[in-house]
Amino acid sequence: MHVRRFPASLGSRGGGRGALSSAGLAAHPFRYALIATLGVGCGMAILAAIGALGTVLVYIGLAFFLAIAAEPLLSYAQQRRMPRWAAVLTIAFILLVGTAFLITVILPAVSEQVTAVANQAFTLVSAIPDQPWFLWLIGMIGDGLDVNNLLANATAFLANPDQLLKLSGGLLEVGTGIIDAITGVIIVTVLTIYLALTMPAIKAKAYELVAYRARHRVKSIAEEILQSVGRFVGGQIVLAFVNALVTFIVTSAAGSPAPALLSLIAFIGALIPVVGPVIGASIAAIITLETGLVPAIVVAAILLAYLQVEAYVLTPRVMARAVAMPGALVIVAALGGAALGGILGALVAVPIAAAGITIVNRVIIPHQQAGVPRVVRLRRREDSAS
Mean pLDDT of 15-41: 68
Question: Degrees (nearest 5) of the Cα angle 253, 296, 294?
Answer: 90
| Residue 255 pLDDT > 80 | yes
Mean pLDDT of 262-291: 86
Confidence of residue 16 (pLDDT cuts 50, 70, 90): very low
| Plot region of 28 (φ>0 → left; ψ -120 to 50 → alpha; else → beta) | beta
Q: Any idea of the CA torsion for 152, 157, 161, 166, to the nearest 10 degrees?
A: 180
At 226, is the secondary structure helix, strand, or coil?
Answer: helix
The mean of the pLDDT values for the chain is 75
Count the alpha carbons within 13 Å of 367 in the hemisphere toward its beta carbon: 6
Confidence of residue 257 (pLDDT cuts 50, 70, 90): confident
Mean pLDDT of 261-280: 85
Q: Any idea of the CA torsion for 59, 64, 65, 71, to the nearest 10 degrees?
A: 150
Domain positions in the chain are: 43-209, 213-364
Task: Output the pLDDT for position 378.
Answer: 59
Angle formed by the axes of helices 161-168 and 147-159, to 10°? 80
Q: By the 8 A CB rule, do 260 and 113 touch? A: yes
* CA pair distance 320, 329, nearest whole angstrom: 18
Task: Output the pLDDT for position 250.
Answer: 92
**What is the gyration radius of the CA atoms in the chain, in angstroms?**
29
Task: Output the pLDDT for position 364.
Answer: 84
Q: Which pairs from 289-293 meet CB under 8 Å and 24+ separation?
A: 289/124, 290/117, 290/120, 290/124, 290/256, 290/257, 291/254, 291/255, 291/256, 291/257, 293/131, 293/132, 293/133
Nearest to 67 by CA among 160, 199, 239: 199
Report how far apart, in Å, the C-alpha atoms of 214 and of each of 88, 208, 219, 293 are: 32, 11, 9, 63
51-60, 98-107, 165-174, 240-249: least confidently modelled range: 165-174
Higher pLDDT, 35 or 317: 35
Task: Output the pLDDT for position 172.
Answer: 46
Task: Output the pLDDT for position 304.
Answer: 92
| Residue 19 pLDDT > 60 | no
15-19, 51-55, 137-141, 250-254: least confidently modelled range: 15-19
Higher pLDDT, 166 or 218: 218
* CA pair distance 40, 28, nearest whole angstrom: 19
Task: Output the pLDDT for position 6.
Answer: 46
